[in-house]
Amino acid sequence: MADETKTRKLYDRIADVHNVALKVNRYRQSVTKYLRSLNLDLGPEPLILDAGSGTGIQTLGLASAGLNLRRAVALDISHKSLKVAREQFHRDRIPDAARIDVVQGDMLGFPFAANTFDLVLTCGALEYVPLADGLAEMARVLKPGGKLVLIPVKPSVVGTVLEVLYKFKTHKVDDVKRVALRHFNIVGNHTFPAIEPMSWSKRIFLLEKKHD
């Protein structure tokens, strides 16, 4: 079975449990707080993509950050995760939740034209694909000067446990930086505060797509 099919089947099976775990750990609030602390300067009504969105917790984190978005797209290969995401977007009270579209697709070949998005966020998904291919595809769909909020799993004890549970491979931080520099400037390098559970497994880079 191809890796992508295995991953899709895994998340079709565990979407509900994964969603509860993220809620308990307040991942959405951590992401919103971080985004609100930035001056992202995206221009009016930005178009936003959450690549490997899963059940849409981080998409809602983005939609809660006051970015005045035109539309956001939550993209994932797992049909069940997107079903949970769609239900959450419907139930959520923030107005921007109604501006989120759900697309089933592969982050190694987005069904979008080049230079489409003002911001792409990806959290814990790049670990399923080759680093260079995943970052190149995100760079392709971002406008020049567009932002990538990259939230990789950091190599750590918790990261190792997650690798076993979720069947992915953590990328080395130095590799992430080196490969990212082919397409992006690194404009932020944030570690979540230790009291936020997100800090136990994730760090966050803010990247800006280079102009040609």
Ligand X SMILES: C[S@@+](CC[C@H](N)C(=O)[O-])C[C@H]1O[C@@H](n2cnc3c(N)ncnc32)[C@H](O)[C@@H]1O
CA–CA distance from 51 to each of 74, 119, 149, 172 (Å)? 7, 11, 10, 20
For residue 77, state whether it binds ligand X (rule: CB under 6 A).
yes
Q: Whole-number minimum distance, CB 165 to ligand X, in Å?
A: 9
How far apart (Å, rounded) are the C-alpha atoms in residues 200 and 136?
27
In which element (H, E) is residue 203 found? none
For residue 129, state whether it binds ligand X (rule: CB under 6 A).
yes
Burial of 58 (0-12, 13-18, 19+ CB in 10 A): buried
> Residues 26-55: x/- map of binding to ligand X (CB under 6 A)?
--------------------------xxx-
How far apart (Å, rounded) are the C-alpha atoms in residues 204 and 121?
10
For residue 137, state whether it binds ligand X (rule: CB under 6 A).
no
Q: Whole-number minimum distance, CB 53 to ligand X, in Å?
A: 5
The residue range among 64-72, 106-114, 174-182, 185-193 that interacts with ligand X, by the rule CB under 6 A, is 106-114
Q: Which of residues 58 and 170 has its CB atom nearest to ligand X in the complex?
A: 58
For residue 110, state whether it binds ligand X (rule: CB under 6 A).
no
Of 38, 166, 177, 186, the one binding ligand X by CB under 6 A: 166
Query: 84-116 in b/e burial notation, b at 16+ Cβ within 10 A?
Result: bbbebbeebeeebbebbebeeeebeebebeeeb
Of 46, 124, 146, 152, the one binding ligand X by CB under 6 A: 124
The residue range among 32-40, 76-84, 89-97, 184-192 that interacts with ligand X, by the rule CB under 6 A, is 76-84
